[in-house]
Structure 1
Amino acid sequence: MRTALIGSNSLTLSTAELLLEEGHEVVIIERDRNRIDVLSERLDAGFVHGDGTLPDVLRDAEPENTDVLFCLMESDQINILAGLIGRSLGFARVVPRVNDPQFQRIAAELGLEDTIMPNRAVAAHLSQMLSGGKSLELSSVIRGNAAIFSLIAKASEKGPIDNLKLPERTRIVCLYHDEQFYLPREVKALKTGDELILITSHQQLPELEQRFERGEAGDQLKAD
C-alpha cells in the first residue's frame, strides 16, 4: 500500500515509522527543505517539498497511485482543507485529523467521513486505566471471520435507531451521539454526524461499503 502524509509532526512521523515497518510505501509532504534533509537520514521514505494544502504540491505525491492521504497536522481547519483538496485530486481515501468535535461534524457534512480524533482515543484509554480496567487492542479480541466497521450517520440515516436496517450478522456495538459514548439501547434516534461502530462478518463488508458509500478502503478492522 502507498500512503502520503502531510507535515512532519510527532503523530505523522510515528505513523510513517509504523507503516514503513509493515512494508508500506510512504511519502511525506513537507514545506521545510532542511527538515526533509534531516528526515531522509532517518526514514526510508519518499519526500515531496512544498505546502501540502496546495493542489500542485499534492499532485506531485501522485494521487492516482496513492491509497491513502493522511492529514495529521495540528490545525483542524488545515487538515479539513487538505482533505478536501486531496479528495478533489483523486486520492482514493483521505484521513484528516480532527480534535474539535464541532469540526468533526463539519467534516462529516463535507463528506470527509474517515476523520480520526486522537485526543478522544487517548482520553478514553487513560480513563479506562484510572478505573482499573485493562485496555485491549481490537486485533486481540476480534478473531476468525469477524470484522469491525465504522460509519458516520448521514441525513438519510437520521431517525429511530431501529430503522437502520443492517445486514445479517451485523450489530451496533456502540456509538458517539452528541459527542458522548453510548450503548445502542441508550439512544432512541440517530442524528447526522453520529459515529457508529459495528461488528459484522467479513462477508457482509461489501454490502456495508456499498450502502454507506465507503468504498474498498472504508474504516474496518478484519481479523487475522
Structure 2
Amino acid sequence: MRIVFYGLCELTVMTAQKFIEQNHDIIIMDPNKEKIEEIKDSMDCNFLVGDAIHPDILKETNPKEVDLFLALSDMSQNNLVACLVGRSLGAKRVILRVDDPEYRKVCAELGLLDVIVSPQIVSEYLTDVILNENILKLTRNVRDKACLYHIPIHEDKIEKLADLKLPQKTRVIYYLRDGEFHHYDDSVSFQKGDEIILLTDRDNLEKLKKSWGKEK
C-alpha cells in the first residue's frame, strides 16, 4: 500500500516503521525541514518538506494513488484540514489524530469517521485499521477468546440490530454518535455516521471482515 503520514512525531515514526518492515510504500510529510533532516537517514522511506493543509503541497504525493493518508501532527485543526484536503484530492482513506475530544463532533459532521483521540492506543489501533482488521484488543487474559470489532455505519437502511446480520456469539457493546459514546439497548435506532463496537468470538472475525472489513 501507498501510505502518507502528515506530522513527524514519535507516533508517526513508530507506526511508519511497522509498515516499512512490511514493505509498504511510505511518505512522511512535515513542514519542519530540520526534523526531517534529523531522522531521514534512519528510516527507509520518502520524506517531503511541506504542510499538507496546502493542496499544492499535498499534490506532490500523488493523492489519487494514496491508499491511506494519516494526519498525526499535534495540531488537531491542521489534521482535520489536511484530511479534508487529502480526501478531496483523491486519497482512498483518511485517518486523523484529534487530541481535543471536542473536535469529534465536527469530524463526524464532515464525514471523517476514522478519528483517534487517545494517544496511548493510537499506534496499535492504526496498525489494525490500516490492515482493515478493525480489531481493538482486550486485556491479555481474554484476548485469545474474544475481541472487540469496530463497524462504521455508512448506509441509511441499517437501523436495528437485525439489520447488521451479526454472527452468533456477537453483541453490541456501545456506539459512537456525534463524538459521544452511548450504551446500546434494544430501543436504539442506528443512524448513518454511527460507529458500533461489538464484542465477538475470534472465530467470527473472518465473517465480520467479509461483511464489514472495508468501508462501503
**In the alignment, what sits opposite 1:151?**
152
Number of residue pairs aligned between Structure 1 and Structure 2: 194
**In the alignment, what sits opposite 2:163?**
165
Q: Note if contact 2:108-2:193 (Cα within 8 Å) is conserved in structure 1.
A: yes
Structure 1 residues 91 and 190: CA distance shift in structure 2, 3 A: same
Distance 1:138 1:59 in 2: 45
**In the alignment, what sits opposite 1:195?**
195
Q: Name whichever structure is richer in helix by fraction.
A: 1
Structure 1 residues 181 and 137: CA distance shift in structure 2, 3 A: farther
Give CA-to-partner distance per residue, 1:75-107, whole Å, 9 cap, x none.
Answer: 221111111100000001000112233311211
Secondary structure class of the residue paired with 1:5: strand
Residue pairs, 1:164-183, within 5 angstroms: 165-169=163-167, 171-177=170-176, 179-180=180-181, 182=183
Secondary structure class of the residue paired with 1:101: coil
- Counterpart of 1:202 in structure 2: which amino acid? E
Q: Does 1:109 align with 2:109?
A: yes
- The two structures, once aligned, show a CA RMSD in angstroms of 3.4
Structure 1 residues 48 and 150: CA distance shift in structure 2, 3 A: same
**In the alignment, what sits opposite 2:134?**
none
Structure 1 residues 60 and 140: CA distance shift in structure 2, 3 A: farther
Structure 1's unaligned 5+ residue stretches are 123-133, 216-224
Runs of 4+ in 1 over 6 A off after TM superposition: none
Structure 1 residues 89 and 120: CA distance shift in structure 2, 3 A: same
- Counterpart of 2:173 in structure 1: which amino acid? C
Output the TM-score relative to the length of structure 1.
0.70
Structure 1 residues 38 and 137: CA distance shift in structure 2, 3 A: farther
Output the TM-score relative to the length of structure 2.
0.73
Structure 2's unaligned 5+ residue stretches are 123-137
Distance 2:38 2:166 in 1: 52
**In the alignment, what sits opposite 1:79?**
79
